[in-house]
């Protein structure tokens, strides 16, 4: 039986309630990687920092930003914001 | 001789910050400015002059109006001296011993960059990409590697610097972790110094978001950037060979308007501000550079960095 006097037990509950993200950003990214990479015009997916340096975001790289791609790419994945970034085509240098 | 320092600094700043890409010769044609004695018909005249060094002396009508050198600057006569491209040679030239950060390549490719020296057991090798030292899986162990790379004038056998030893094959069906290869070299032909970065420091460090980094490469030479993305999965074109997917990559973006890297910079070592290796550059676009985490590279090849 759980010891309710144990502070870490309550802290654990609080963290779960405040934070809707139940998995790490890496796990969420790899879970959705194949589906995102399958969208035509997508050049990659990675982890970066948001515009306001606010925290980690999932970045989706696209050859060129188009209204169609903006529609198809989700705005967030399991609580993590998704930022679309134009990269052009990647090639070996 | 009384000349305002600012006069010269202004010209230099204007010359170095001007955009290029126009058909006319612009400020990019101006390579430097100095003060000398005016020379007329080969004779020193005892008069001071502002000497403007240019890549090419061309007729006035082929030069953008604002990039033309006036006859006098601040009342002092000017001299225009042709010196060619001064910044091209140091990274595309032939070096013995060869440092990191300069041109190299398998004898059948164009050119890439020497990353650094590594040791595999007792063997001393240069580290670069598979597509630089092994011609995208087409090379065979023992194939000659030339410094500079073939497009920079490197020939077999005169410019051979080593032999392809091992490469990690690039898989065009399944995801990859690295684009890397090593070529065995004789110690007297190479130096562990880097052409622009100087001496490397160990241990190697993992890439972190917002880390400031430097690299020295054959094409864009010394550039500064910031790690903007980690754990990236990207699709990379290899010309006629096809397209390959790479996972757990590092993305770097330049700190200024110039790109962090371009074609020919492949194989460059990316280091942090303390000169510790962070990643191996291999691909990119006009705005983004992609690199393998250095630990993945060293692990895949079973090598350690020599510094």
pLDDT (tens digit per residue) in A17-56: 445 567 899 999 999 999 999 999 999 999 999 877 678 9
pLDDT of A10 above 70 = no
Topology of B212-292 in CATH? Thrombin, subunit H (2.40.10)
Q: For A36, list phi and psi in degrees, rounded to 5.
A: -70, -45
Find out whether B195 and B269 touch, Cβ atoms under 8 Å.
no
Distance (Å, whole) CA B236 – CA B233 = 10
Could you tell me if the ipTM is greater than 0.85?
no
Cα angle B141, B146, B147 (rounded to 5 degrees) comes to 140
Q: What is the domain partition of chain B in residue ranges?
A: 5-82, 90-194, 212-292
Return the CATH architecture of domain B90-194: Beta Barrel (2.40)
Asked if A80 is an interface residue toward chain B (Cβ–Cβ < 8 A), one would say no
Size of the A and B interface in Cβ pairs below 8 Å: 92
pLDDT higher than threshold 60 for residue A2? no
A78 touches chain B (CB under 8 A): no
The pLDDT, as a whole number, for residue B61 is 80
- Distance separating the N- and C-terminal Cα atoms of chain A: 60
Task: Please state, in angstroms and rounded to a whole number, the distance separating the CA atoms of residues B281 and B277.
Answer: 11
Residues of B in contact with A47 (CB under 8 A): 209, 229-232
| CA angle (B243, B248, B253) in 5-degree steps | 85
Contacts of A88 in chain B (CB under 8 A): 285-288
Per-residue pLDDT tens digits of chain B, which is 307 residues long: 444 555 555 554 554 444 443 345 666 677 677 777 777 777 777 788 888 877 777 778 878 787 788 888 888 888 887 776 555 468 999 999 999 999 999 999 999 999 999 999 999 999 999 999 999 999 999 999 999 999 999 999 999 999 999 999 999 999 999 999 999 999 999 999 999 999 999 999 999 999 999 999 999 999 999 999 999 999 999 999 999 999 999 999 999 999 999 999 999 999 999 999 999 999 999 999 999 999 999 999 999 999 9
Do B238 and A33 count as a contact with CB atoms less than 8 A apart?
Answer: no
A35 touches B: beta carbon within 8 Å: no
Residue B64: predicted pLDDT: 79
Mutation target to probe the B interface, by most B beta carbons within 10 A, among A40, A58, A92 is A92
Q: Which residue on chain B is closest to A44 by alpha carbon?
A: B234
Preceding amide of B97 cis, omega within 30: yes
Cβ contact (<8 Å) for B287 and A90? no
∠A70-B243-A39 over CA atoms, to 5°?
20
Nearest Cα neighbor of A41 from A63, A73, A12 is A63
**Domains B90-194 and B212-292 in one fold:** yes
């Amino acid at each position: 039986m759980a010891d309710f006097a144990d502070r870490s037990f309550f802290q654990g509950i609080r963290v779960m309630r405040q934070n809707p993200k139940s998995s790490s950003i890496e796990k969420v990214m790899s879970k959705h990687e194949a589906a995102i990479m399958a969208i035509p015009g997508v050049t990659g997916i990675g982890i970066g920092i948001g515009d306001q340096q606010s925290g980690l975001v999932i970045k989706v790289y696209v050859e060129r930003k188009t209204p169609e791609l903006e529609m198809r790419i989700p705005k967030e994945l399991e609580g993590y914001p998704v930022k679309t970034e134009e990269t052009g085509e990647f090639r070996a240098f | 001789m009384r000349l305002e320092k600012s006069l010269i600094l202004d010209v230099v700043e204007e010359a170095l910050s001007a955009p290029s890409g126009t058909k006319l010769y612009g400020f990019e044609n101006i390579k430097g400015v100095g003060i000398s004695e005016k020379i007329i018909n080969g004779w020193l005249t005892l008069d001071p002059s502002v000497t403007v060094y240019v890549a090419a002396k061309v007729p006035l009508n082929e030069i953008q109006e604002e990039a033309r050198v006036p006859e006098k600057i601040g009342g002092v006569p000017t001299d225009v001296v042709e010196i060619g491209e001064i910044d091209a040679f140091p990274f595309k030239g032939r070096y013995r011993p060869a440092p990191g950060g300069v041109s190299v390549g398998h004898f059948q490719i164009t050119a890439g960059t020497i990353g650094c020296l590594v040791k595999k057991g007792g063997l001393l090798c240069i580290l670069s990409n598979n597509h630089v030292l092994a011609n995208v899986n087409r090379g065979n162990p023992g194939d000659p590697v030339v410094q500079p790379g073939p497009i920079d004038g490197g020939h077999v056998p005169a410019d051979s610097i080593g032999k392809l030893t091992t490469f990690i094959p690039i898989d065009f069906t399944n995801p990859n972790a690295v684009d890397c290869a090593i070529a065995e070299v004789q110690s007297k032909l190479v130096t562990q110094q880097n052409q622009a970065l100087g001496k490397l420091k160990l241990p190697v460090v993992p890439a972190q978001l917002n880390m400031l980094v430097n690299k020295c490469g054959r094409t864009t030479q010394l550039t500064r950037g910031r790690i903007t993305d980690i754990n990236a999965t990207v699709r990379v074109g290899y010309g006629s060979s096809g397209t390959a997917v790479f996972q757990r990559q590092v993305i770097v973006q330049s700190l200024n308007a110039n790109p962090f890297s371009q074609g020919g910079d492949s194989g460059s070592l990316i280091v942090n501000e303390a000169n510790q290796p962070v990643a191996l550059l291999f691909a990119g676009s006009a705005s983004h550079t992609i690199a393998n985490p250095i630990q993945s590279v060293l692990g895949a090849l079973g090598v350690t960095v020599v510094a």
